[in-house]
Chains A and B, each alone.
Chain A
Amino acid sequence: MSDEVSPQAPKAEGPRTSAVSSWRSSWRRFRTEHQWTRWAIPLAIVVLAFSYPWWGLEGPLSFVFNDGLGIDNDTLFNMSIYVMLALGLNVVVGYAGLLDLGYVAFFALGAYTLGWFGSGLFSTRDIHFLDTNAARLPGIHLSFWVVVLLAGAVCAFAGVLIGWPTLRLRGDYLAIVTLGFGEIIPDIFRNGDDIAGHNLTNGVRGVTQLDRPGFGEALNGATGGILPVRYTSLELRPWYFTVLTMVLITIFVNLRLRDSKMGRAWIAVREDEIAASAMGVPLMRTKLWAYAIGAIFGGFAGAVYGSFINGIFPVSFSFQISVIVLVMVIVGGMGNIWGVILGAIALTMMNRYGLRELNGVPDKFGLDFDVTSISFGIFGFFLLAMMVLRPEGFIPSGRRKLELHGEIDETDHLGAESDHTLYDVREER
């Protein structure tokens, strides 16, 4: 890749040659000239993320991260779950351009899959498969790892089932239908303690005493105690490593999908459905795949979350979760993996700590209300400000920026050297 054909050549930036854009272009040149950065930077990030408990939670920088920013194990876990959810939704909203306002349905379904196959909910059954519980408990207990995969499969199936009749609808009708499903599915779980006399979900009381991940005695012995027999609520590091691994897998899948044939088809459908269809992209199948793959990640996240919280309650799966995840995707930058991750991390931090810090502000003006209670108003305000000022998000994907700001004028099509900004499917990394 020579300098001229690198994505987003300086010309596409137009006349705006500010300090930032010149810094950007020199960084980009550095990246293209030194190929080793392609694997060194991701590797460094992975190593940093995995070693966080040793440099962030305790050790040299703990006073900044653990004490100052308050990123403890619990926050880390939540953050990772939200990153996973946001990346899953990114496939649906960012890549395929289908507005999904009911993503929480898949999160809930994943969690309840754990409830069905990894708890004592069906206490009259006695089915066990490689589970790592200390005693042989009544109920269905499959190995946690099997349940996670199962949750993904159930959600993919549900995604196809939901998507099949609805994905042919126009954009905003699709939004409202997904919203409907996002309301129906938690509602079914809420009322599921008496479906034709069967208790399927334990209703509002929720499912508790869920199985936890673990590797069993044999693997624990074989690795010299590195892989724990089963995770506990006291030792949170294994949880973090597990969910971090899942996040990395999610990022990897996202990256590979984006550049795959399917990913290019999604982008084509997002940009212009009719043109894509004319070019031979099967619309329904492409959209269904986006929906199903997005759902799979929701399911994974749901199963892990349910196990970590050790309780699944219908009230935790409200419309608000769908919106938070959507805001993460949008604020970060639809379609850009790094933007979405940044959005998820920033909003989790804001939700957990930023609002608490803001709590003193109304008092200074002689007002008495709790800022944390209006967190959704603040989310709403962020959405609004973002949409008016910077609809492409913090770190936009190159394509969306072009789409929203229309920086290419007609004459640009004639200039051969700037064509790559239009036709290069790969986005900036």
Chain B
Amino acid sequence: MATAETASRPALERRLPISQIVLWAVGLVLAALIGYWLIKNAIDSPDRFLEVTLIGVTNGSIYALVALGYTLVYGIIELINFAHGDNFMLGTFQTNGIVNDGTFQIPFFPTSFVLAIPLGTAATAGSSAGQKIYTIFMCLLFSMLFCMVINVSIERIGYKPLRNQPRLVPLITAIGFSFILQDVGLIWKGAGPQPLPNILPTGTIFSWRAASYAWDDFIVIAVTIPLLIALTYLVRRTRSGKAMRATAQDMDASSMMGINVDRTISFTFALGGALAGAAGAIYALYIGTTKFDLGFRLGLFAFTAAVLGGIGNLSGAVLGGVVLGLIQAYTEGFWDARWTTTVVFSVLIAILVFRPSGLLGEQVPEGQ
């Protein structure tokens, strides 16, 4: 098509710079290699592939819950809430206390100062089914409440006074909160891993060759999906949800329309905190152990998931969480668990480089 006409007006054609072409070429080659590797593994041992996939989806749904907290907050005030992962960690600790000690605890300060409200929820692997169900329900409820209160307090103390400052300022505040919450956890329960008895049902639902799917895997998803549906309903159908979406689009305009922006933002933090609490409860019950520094890494992974799906986009966060869970599972299942961190952060960087708006497109305030 190199006619004289097209050659005479080259300025009209939009040419990609060489650096972009090189980047995309490298990206495509990498994607092709990864695709080949996955397909090869799937053909070599389909049952193992299925099992790893199921593990990925289960872990991914926990990531999705945490990622939603990041994405809700980012969508509304464009802040990476670094403290969110540590809030999740405090949720796992709360669940730990509810199951092991049977009390709802408020960690004012070290062990001697913990305010404990007895709930009669202490359970072990040998407890009756009714007791177990009651305990699981209370874990979810109180851990959600607890994380909700923490998240809203953080917003009120730290982020609200800084809303008009340059974006760096609240971001650094968030890092500060992350450290504070981590050390609250450290003082509360100590530095070691905190085990929990396994009170989730353990039977197998189905098995195929070497792959099997157990009840506790299923329960993780069975708790996650109703929560997601409830959240979607809240955001799409209720007045508060409408206020949230309006505030996310344009804070000034929505305050002019009579929306209480402060309350809406607090509500968003409350939702995010509740989801982190739920994720914490599920994580603690499913994995069976927690640790005070767990929140940082997991929070970063969850944030990666949120970016992967498109920050500010609720369905994107869920998709991103599941995809990230799968990436982690495939890395650990078919390659080497010690490279997980590298792989996950490489994915994050690759996404930010190749498609900063994420898989489903980002939804953040306009004109900023």
Question: Across the two chains, which residue of chain A brings its CB closest to B109?
Answer: A367
> In the complex, how many angstroms separate the beta carbon of A137 from the nearest chain B beta carbon?
31
Which of A33-41, A52-60, A142-150, A165-173 lies at the interface? A165-173
Given contacts A377-B180, A388-B158, A403-B166, contact A383 B80 (CB under 8 A): no
For the complex, give the distance between the alpha carbons of A169 and B357 in Å. 11
A177 within 8 A of B: yes
B303 within 8 A of A: yes
**Contacting residues, chain B, for A101 (C-beta < 8 A):** 175
Residue among B111, B176, B180 having the largest count of chain A Cβ atoms under 10 Å: B176
The answer to whether B176 touches A383 (Cβ under 8 A) is yes
**Contacting residues, chain A, for B187 (C-beta < 8 A):** 369, 374
Question: Across the two chains, which residue of chain A brings its CB closest to B158?
Answer: A384
Identify which of B80, B110, B162, B336 contacts A369 (C-beta below 8 A).
B110
Interface positions, chain A 373-387, Cβ under 8 Å from B, are 373-374, 376-384, 387
For the complex, give the distance between the alpha carbons of A170 and B177 in Å. 23
Identify which of A172, A373, A388 contacts B191 (C-beta below 8 A).
A373
For the complex, give the distance between the alpha carbons of A164 and B79 in Å. 24
**Contacting residues, chain A, for B296 (C-beta < 8 A):** 319
The answer to whether A172 touches B345 (Cβ under 8 A) is no
Which of B232-240, B267-275, B348-356 lies at the interface? B348-356
> In the complex, how many angstroms separate the beta carbon of A333 from the nearest chain B beta carbon?
14
B213 within 8 A of A: no
The answer to whether B345 touches A377 (Cβ under 8 A) is no
The answer to whether A169 touches B180 (Cβ under 8 A) is no
A157 within 8 A of B: no
Given contacts A191-B339, A387-B176, contact A171 B110 (CB under 8 A): no
B257 within 8 A of A: no
Residues 191-219 of chain B, each 1 if its beta carbon lies under 8 Å from chain A, else 0:
10000000000000000000000000000
Residues 146-181 of chain B, each 1 if its beta carbon lies under 8 Å from chain A, else 0:
000000000000100110011111111101111110
Question: Across the two chains, which residue of chain B brings its CB closest to A374?
Answer: B183
> In the complex, how many angstroms separate the beta carbon of B79 from the nearest chain A beta carbon?
8
The answer to whether A404 touches B165 (Cβ under 8 A) is yes
B341 within 8 A of A: yes
**Contacting residues, chain A, for B177 (C-beta < 8 A):** 380, 384
Identify which of B169, B175, B349 contacts A323 (C-beta below 8 A).
B175
Residues 98-129 of chain B, each 1 if its beta carbon lies under 8 Å from chain A, else 0:
00000000000111110000000000000000
The answer to whether B158 touches A379 (Cβ under 8 A) is no
**Contacting residues, chain A, for B266 (C-beta < 8 A):** none
The answer to whether B176 touches A384 (Cβ under 8 A) is yes
If over half of B's interface residues share one DSSP class (helix, strand or loop), that class is named, otherwise mixed; here it is: helix
**Contacting residues, chain A, for B171 (C-beta < 8 A):** 99, 172, 175
Interface positions, chain A 386-429, Cβ under 8 Å from B, are 387-388, 391, 403-404
The answer to whether A177 touches B349 (Cβ under 8 A) is yes
B338 within 8 A of A: yes
Interface positions, chain B 333-368, Cβ under 8 Å from A, are 336, 338-339, 341-342, 345-346, 348-349, 352-353, 356
Given contacts A165-B353, A380-B176, contact A373 B186 (CB under 8 A): yes
A187 within 8 A of B: yes
The answer to whether A184 touches B345 (Cβ under 8 A) is yes
- Interface size of A by CB at 8 A reads 48
A253 within 8 A of B: no
Question: Across the two chains, which residue of chain B brings its CB closest to A383?
Answer: B176
Residue among A99, A164, A171, A176 having the largest count of chain B Cβ atoms under 10 Å: A176
B307 within 8 A of A: yes
**Contacting residues, chain B, for A326 (C-beta < 8 A):** 172, 175
A287 within 8 A of B: no
**Contacting residues, chain A, for B221 (C-beta < 8 A):** none
Interface positions, chain A 141-198, Cβ under 8 Å from B, are 164-166, 169-173, 175-177, 179-181, 183-184, 187-188, 190-191
The answer to whether A366 touches B338 (Cβ under 8 A) is no
Interface positions, chain B 269-306, Cβ under 8 Å from A, are 296, 300, 303
> In the complex, how many angstroms separate the beta carbon of B148 from the nearest chain A beta carbon?
21
The answer to whether A173 touches B165 (Cβ under 8 A) is no
**Contacting residues, chain B, for A85 (C-beta < 8 A):** none
> In the complex, how many angstroms separate the beta carbon of A189 from the nearest chain B beta carbon?
11
The answer to whether A380 touches B80 (Cβ under 8 A) is no
**Contacting residues, chain A, for B341 (C-beta < 8 A):** 183-184, 187
The answer to whether B165 touches A391 (Cβ under 8 A) is yes
A330 within 8 A of B: yes
For the complex, give the distance between the alpha carbons of A181 and B112 in Å. 40
For the complex, give the distance between the alpha carbons of A374 and B185 in Å. 10
> In the complex, how many angstroms separate the beta carbon of B73 from the nearest chain A beta carbon?
12
**Contacting residues, chain A, for B165 (C-beta < 8 A):** 387, 391, 404
> In the complex, how many angstroms separate the beta carbon of B308 from the nearest chain A beta carbon?
12
A368 within 8 A of B: yes
**Contacting residues, chain A, for B225 (C-beta < 8 A):** none
**Contacting residues, chain B, for A368 (C-beta < 8 A):** 110-112
The answer to whether A367 touches B112 (Cβ under 8 A) is yes
Interface positions, chain A 344-386, Cβ under 8 Å from B, are 362, 366-369, 373-374, 376-384
B250 within 8 A of A: no
Given contacts A177-B348, A180-B345, A377-B182, contact A172 B161 (CB under 8 A): no
Question: Across the two chains, which residue of chain A brings its CB closest to B154?
Answer: A384
> In the complex, how many angstroms separate the beta carbon of A376 from the nearest chain B beta carbon?
4
Question: Across the two chains, which residue of chain A brings its CB closest to B336?
Answer: A191
B184 within 8 A of A: yes
For the complex, give the distance between the alpha carbons of A367 and B109 in Å. 8
B51 within 8 A of A: no
> In the complex, how many angstroms separate the beta carbon of B196 from the nearest chain A beta carbon?
23
For the complex, give the distance between the alpha carbons of A374 and B178 in Å. 12
For the complex, give the distance between the alpha carbons of A69 and B175 in Å. 30
Can you name 10 extra interface pairs (CB under 8 A) apart from A176-B303, A180-B348? A165-B353, A175-B171, A184-B346, A187-B339, A368-B111, A380-B177, A383-B179, A384-B177, A388-B173, A391-B162
Closest 10 interchain pairs by CB? A377-B183, A380-B179, A383-B176, A180-B345, A384-B176, A374-B183, A380-B176, A380-B180, A376-B179, A165-B353
**25 pairs, A vs B, C-beta closer than 8 Å:** A99-B168, A101-B175, A165-B23, A165-B353, A172-B167, A172-B171, A173-B352, A176-B348, A177-B348, A180-B345, A184-B341, A191-B339, A326-B175, A373-B183, A376-B179, A376-B182, A377-B179, A377-B182, A380-B178, A383-B173, A383-B179, A384-B158, A384-B176, A388-B158, A391-B165
